[in-house]
A and B are shown apart, each in its own frame.
Chain A
Amino acid sequence: MKTFLKYTLLASVVAVTTAAQAEVNIVSWGGAYTASQQKAYQDTYKDPGSINFINYNGGLGEVRTQVESGNVTWDIVDVLPHEGRVGCDEGLFEELDRSVFKPAPDGTSMEDDMMIKLPNDCVVPQIFWSYVPFYQEGTFKGEQPTTIADFFNVKKFPGKRGIHTWPNALIEMALAADGVAIKDIYKVMSTDEGIDRAFKMLDKIKNDAVFWSAGSKPLELVQSGEVSMALAYNGRVGAAMLSEGAKFVPVWDGQVLEEEWLVLMKGAPHRKEAIDFLVHASTTESQALQAKYINYGPMRASAFDVMKKGEPWFHNGKNIMEHMPNRPEVMARTIVANPEWWADYGDSVAERYTAWMGQ
């Protein structure tokens, strides 16, 4: 009897229960960003308990592993622009039927309501965000930094600079600071001389650079005084300013505007529920609602209208439009990132950047 019990216990311990939960797994970046997604999309969903947010650090490595091994546990992933393209090309994401998506309140279809053209059939609109230089009020006496060239000018605005450990946005900003017209930046970048020019500009801040890789780090660096100016995700800066009253000053000139997408994994375990959630998350109302909690820009133009009419829109009663990265007033001096270029040349530029960092 004892041995029978022993073996049954062993068997039951060894037996793996793979009961599929009815929860849709959404993978996102955590922090204030995911909190805004939860408040705007999950809490307004018809069944909030069926959605589960997981944090990750980006990259398609895990996605590719899951799809290749056939053991997909994630349903929806929040991806960066070039990943949204690369993943779709490699068949890691599913192509969606656009007809299920909800139109704008005035009847415009989702595709026509987009502020940029959808690059492929896999991506679902999320937000615009930007890399923005910023500093703390009171750091500089007299003249204050107002242009991107000021970020690279350590003589006039002394102190260290906080920059990230990958080259995206840095190349564009360096060229803009060197005087290249915003509309010509990618043309210049597609030549070897252009990249050399960008790195020569980066050399100006080489000795004063402090590198960060986590989204909250640049805020810490500026707040602690370790650096006098840093590049950061505009949403983090805005969240600190709006919710915590931090005295940051963003420099919108020369900011680099990036896209962010939601995608459905190929072979997602809860496909139907996930698609339903994606439809809900991409409606005008949801897009506008997210801006109540974080200052990332919606991708649908109709959402902007909703927000403008509802100002002050931010959840604590402050105005949000002045913090939107894709508002019309700043678009003239905003560099709109080109993810196709980065999908092509990103790896070789990243290697050159790593070599540059190491010298």
Chain B
Amino acid sequence: MSATPETIDGPLLTADGVPLKASLQKSLRRAKLRAALLVAPPLLFLIFLFIIPIGSMLTRSVDDTQINKVLPRTFEAFDAWDKKSDPPEALYEAMYLDLKNAEKIEIGQASTRMNYAEPGWRSLVKVTARRIKKIEPPYKEAFIKIDDRWAELTYWRSLGIMKDPITFGYYLNAVDLDYDFDKNIIQQDENRRVYNLLWWRTILVSVIVTLACLILAYPVSYLLATLPMRYSNLLMICVLMPFWTSLLVRIVAWMIMLQQNGVVNDTLVAVGILGDNNRLEMMYNFNGTVIVMTQILLPFMILPIFSVMKTIPPSYMKAAQNLGATPTLAFIRVYMPQTVPGVGAGCILVFIVAIGYYITPELVGGKDGRLIGNMVAYHMQRSLNWGLAAAMGTILLFMILLLYWIYDKIVGIDNMKMG
């Protein structure tokens, strides 16, 4: 008797009588839940220790709420003023009330911020706040007696820059623009235009270092990938050894090599190639920055390219040459395109690291070694202008995201392999 299955009416059932569809969905849901739980710790870690802190830092780039909280009446009176005539008594009275009612610490923080808008505010507010209790009306006279800067229009008008709780002033400053007192966008004082040059220089240095790394790393990776195991292991140690050495030790070693009386210059002069007055200037300038950064970032380029090259079967090259291609043609048309994912990974890695680097350029770059990272560090640590630092950080972030998007369109991010 042939075992013909019975036709089944109605939905398919599993052994315990539950519909197959429901059973399938249940087990799928459980698998998804397990996956979600496995992903949860790193995801929560990422959110709470990375995205939220950095996000809150970045919101500082537009945050001007502190001063609006400390000087509410002043800003109200400011709005009522026509900003051209002499500041009215009401404005002074508003400032008096605000300074009297604010906490000492709030006044300190506010005066720091006001100083960014117009230098001199800090001492003006401080000296006034110290004597606020002894002030009697008429306030205008009393203020001007404490410090005659209160009579100037400049300081009062600069309040116009600070009066909105959300401000784009920091972003403007980060690209050498500024608000004038009516909140129109103008170019920053000619003497203080520093950021655009730094943006340009940072990108230039990063691009040059990436290209230099690529040119130097490609042959080395090829060698590593094609040599027999014995030699390639030895070479790999040579590549990794500097990688494991302290960064500062490498930088100081380069200083000794490249400085005016360093090894390279002394050798060239001793051999007679250079005159004593024509020593090469390779340290404490742009050249020094590029040379040292290239050497430091070289392993980041060598390793991804090497790991991709290792997976390319040598049979392709042989097949191409069998079909009539010259070795050069075979290399260019068959081998190189297969290394593109590794090249892409290496370039992205080196570029992103290079664009944020500032310690190396600061040590070996001299006056050409000031990059945007130095200014972010300066504003975070010294001038305490965290709004400006956050604005520059955000701009850097969006620049990288833009480049990433362009890279994706050209090369395709799925085309990036680490091996």
Contact = CB atoms under 8 A, between A and B. Distances in A.
Interface of A: 57-62, 64, 86, 88-91, 165-166, 199, 209-211, 213-214, 224-226, 340, 343-348, 350-352, 354-358
Contacts, number: 104
Interface string B104-116: 1101110110011
B384 A358 contact: no
B115 A347 contact: yes
A344 B121 CA distance: 7
Contacts of A61: 380-382, 384
Interface of B: 104-105, 107-109, 111-112, 115-116, 119-123, 126, 191-194, 197-198, 201, 259-261, 284, 362-363, 366-370, 375, 378, 380-385
Contacts of A166: 382
A64 B108 CA distance: 13
21 contacts: A57-B381, A59-B380, A61-B380, A86-B112, A86-B122, A89-B122, A89-B126, A90-B109, A165-B370, A210-B284, A211-B366, A211-B367, A224-B261, A343-B115, A344-B121, A348-B192, A351-B192, A351-B194, A354-B194, A358-B201, A358-B370
A343 B121 CA distance: 10
Contacts of A340: 123
Contact of B105 (A91, A211, A226, A352): A91
Contact of B261 (A199, A226, A355): A226
B261 A345 contact: no
Nearest to A352: B191
A354 B245 CA distance: 32
Contacts of B366: 210-211
B116 A347 contact: yes
Chain B: interface secondary structure?
helix
A203 B22 CA distance: 81
A91 B104 contact: yes
* Shortest 10 CB-CB contacts between residues of A and residues of B: A59-B381, A91-B105, A89-B108, A61-B381, A355-B194, A90-B108, A351-B192, A357-B367, A61-B380, A352-B191
Nearest to B127: A340
Contacts of A357: 367, 370
Contacts of B261: 224-226
Contact of B119 (A91, A211, A348): A348
B381 A344 contact: no
B192 A90 contact: no
A165 B382 CA distance: 13
A62 B261 CA distance: 38
Given A90-B109, A345-B119, A358-B198, A60 B381 contact: yes
Contacts of A91: 104-105, 108-109
B209 to A, nearest CB: 19
A90 B370 CA distance: 29
Contacts of A347: 115-116, 119, 383, 385
